[in-house]
Amino acid sequence: MSTIPTLYTVDASIYVFRGWFTLPDSLTDSEGNPINAVIGFVDFLTQIVNDHRPLHMVCAFDESLTTSWRNDIYPDYKANRESAPEELKFQFRLCRELVAASGLREFSSPLLEADDIIATLASNARAAGFRNVVVSADKDLTQVLRGDDEWWDFAKNARLGVAGVEKKFGVKPEQIGDLLALAGDQVDNIPGVPGIGVKTAARLLVKWGDIPNLLRNVDRVAEMKIRGAKRIGDLLAEHSALLDVARQITATRHDPELPVRMSELARRSPDRGALSDLFERLGFGKPRRDRWLQALAAQS
């Protein structure tokens, strides 16, 4: 285990959605509102806090599918996804209330996505001498890793460091955004260059470094020892404008308003009164309440 101080940044929306889709909606509060997403989320957080006892931990939430700066650049961004129903939006608000009452920091923005928040906090933490553990199932976030950082897919218990990213995807973490721009990303409705898959995109980036340099040398792609090299060069030239847009939206954007001092991201004492009130509204039983409070009480 690393002795370097660590910031855990949680891509929270993924784990709220996971509870929503995997637990039955027959789990309700005292007024009959579904709370399956909240239960899934708090049980997930309980395991992380109890098992790893992070002293610095942040939950980053997405706010909207349609209002981020990426939508301004590319209106079809995430247009393949349905908006969350009101029952789920209600549970998102409860999850954020739970995080705040528990003494953990939480952030969101109508313009910036969780990816941008996590990337910014990871950069700030690194500058302060911390390493990062990014808790997410989203491969896009492997691009924020540097040094001793880790990306952790909690559900699969899969961890990747910088070397692991390069081994899995064929490129360095800082090239992941360009890889997604070239090959496309169906999850986020990013089209990519037709006919160029992940492996070919990785080979192009290993050779040329990034998309701007690749496009400057597009006439030389035909010389590469890869199948269909001339055709690939022609496709890159044809879709250069699309690539310019795609690489903007697959990159992350820095938020200068987020905390730089790690003391602002340290776990604080929970507000037991607020938690007790929330637990009553949610109808949480004593075992779940006790597990979460005991996890919060434990320190490394």
CATH value at residue 142? 3.40.50.1010
Co-location of 91 and 135 in the same domain: yes
Indicate if 106 and 229 belong to the same structural domain.
Answer: no
Q: What was the pLDDT predicted at 74?
A: 87
19 and 141 belong to one structural domain: yes
Task: Give the pairing type, strands 6-11 and 131-135.
Answer: parallel
In a shared domain, residues 226 and 260 = no
Beta bridge partners of 159: 152
Residues 46 and 31 placed together within one structural domain of the fold: yes
**Residue 139 and residue 156: Cα distance in Å, rounded?**
13
The pLDDT value recorded for residue 236 is 96
Mark whether 97 and 86 lie in a shared domain.
Answer: yes
How confident is the model over 7-18, as pLDDT tens digits? 999 999 999 999
86-101 helix and 12-22 helix, angle to the nearest 10 degrees: 130
Decide if 262 is inside a domain.
Answer: yes
> Is residue 225 included in any domain, yes or no?
yes
- Please give the Cα distance from 230 to 190 (Å, whole number): 24
Phi then psi for residue 279, to 5 deg, are -60, -35
* Shared domain check, 43 and 148: yes
Residue 1 lies in a domain: no
Same domain flag for 38 and 185: no
| Residue 258, in any domain of the structure | yes
Quick check: is 35 in a domain?
yes
- In sequence order, what are the residues at sequence separation of 6 or more whose Cβ sits closer than 8 angstroms to the Cβ of residue 178? 171, 201, 205, 210, 211, 247, 250
Same domain (yes/no): 203, 280: no
Report pLDDT for 299: 66
Q: What angle do CA 273, 298, 290 make, to 5 degrees?
A: 50
Tell me the β-bridge partners of 6.
131
Q: Are residues 75 and 13 in the same domain?
A: yes
Specify whether 230 is located in the same domain as 260: no
- Measured on CA atoms in the order 197, 226, 233, 70, is the torsion positive or negative? positive
Pick out the chain residues at pLDDT < 70: 1-2, 299-300
Query: Residues 234-271: pLDDT tens digits?
Result: 999 999 999 999 999 999 999 999 999 999 999 999 99
Contact by Cβ (8 Å): 89, 299: no
Contact 169, 176 (CB under 8 A): yes
Its pTM surpasses 0.85: yes
First to last CA, the chain: 13
For residue 156, what are the domain limits? 6-169+253-297
269 domain residue, yes or no? yes
CATH of the domain at 209: 1.10.150.20
Q: Which candidate, 115, 162, 128, places its Cα nearest to that of 9?
A: 115
Q: Are residues 84 and 181 in the same domain?
A: no
Report yes or no on 147 lying in a domain: yes
CA dihedral 250, 252, 253, 256 (to 10 degrees): 170
Structural domain includes residue 193? yes
Specify the number of domains making up the chain. Answer: 2
Phi and psi at 21, nearest 5°, equal: -85, -25
Distance from the Cα of residue 84 to its chain's centroid: 18
